[in-house]
Amino acid sequence: MSLETVTIGDVTIGLMEPDVPPSTWVGQQDLVEQLLAAWLVVHDDDQPLNPRLVGRPGVGKTTLACAVAARLERPVHLFQATADTRPEDLIVQPVLGESGTIRYVASPIVAAMIRGGVAVLDEGNRMSEKSWASLAPLLDHRRYVESVVAGVKIQAHPEFRFCTTMNDDASTFDLPEYIQSRLLPRIVIDFPDAEEELRILASNLPFAPAELLQYVTAFLQAAHERDELHSVRDGINVARYALKRAHQAGGGASDALDRLPEAIEAVLGDDALELLPDRP
């Protein structure tokens, strides 16, 4: 695969293409304004902030970041953090090329830095402190990273913006204060109310009957009241599977409502069935 390249010093670095994720945000517009404010630059001496978007899995943290990036008409580069993410994974990696030559390829974060795009570090609190430390100079007034592998220092484009998403659950690292202080503001994304949840379902499943979406919304709202983790993403998957099972059986979209208990059990497990409200 042929990559766009840039030369920094005497080192040539390949840049992966931007991602093209879903970029439609339905729901709480105040969250859009909060993120826009964090990325705003109000003076020549000002700098953008590096917010962390916090919430339970499936509430739309990554979608929010991508939607705001689209509104700003900036390319988006996504990086999925894991417990195994290494510092070099975040910056520049060597790749064995033809005839045994070494090529260097930028991470999505560095590609965004160079292009002046938006880097979204997904599930950042699954990543170790050692890896976060390699990004510390990028997330303060210095706005650069250093690649030990390639032997270069890379400055961020003035239009570069960064955010990280963080799941609010127990399977994550506690970040040190010097990292947390660089990841501000903290923007909290909660479960939407019933009206917003129905709109999100309808925007993702415009071919689904209204009755099915209303019933799934009632199920999700019951889950939220019980402090269960079932999110609108789960609701979309449940409704989608019910529609597929109805179609498979030769029924129409209206028959998917009958398949909803089966879909909930298959997608979320037996325990979730007790949250299913009475049929409308």
Q: What is the pLDDT of residues 86-143, one digit of tens each?
A: 999 999 999 887 777 889 999 999 999 999 999 999 999 999 999 999 999 999 999 9
Q: Roughly what angle, to the nearest 10 degrees, separates helices 232-248 and 260-268?
A: 130
Strands 76-80 and 52-55: unpaired
Q: Work out the average pLDDT over 50-66.
A: 95
Q: Residues for the chain: how many in total?
A: 280
Reported pTM: 0.91
CATH class of the domain at 4-188: alpha beta
17: DSSP letter: P
Alpha-carbon span 76 to 280, nearest angstrom: 42
Residue 176 in this model has a pLDDT that exceeds 80: yes
Query: How much is the pLDDT for 248?
Result: 93
Domain boundaries, the chain: 4-188, 194-275
Q: Work out the average pLDDT over 59-79.
A: 96
Provide DSSP, 182-231: TS-SEEE-----HHHHHHHHHHH-TTS-HHHHHHHHHHHHHHHHTT----
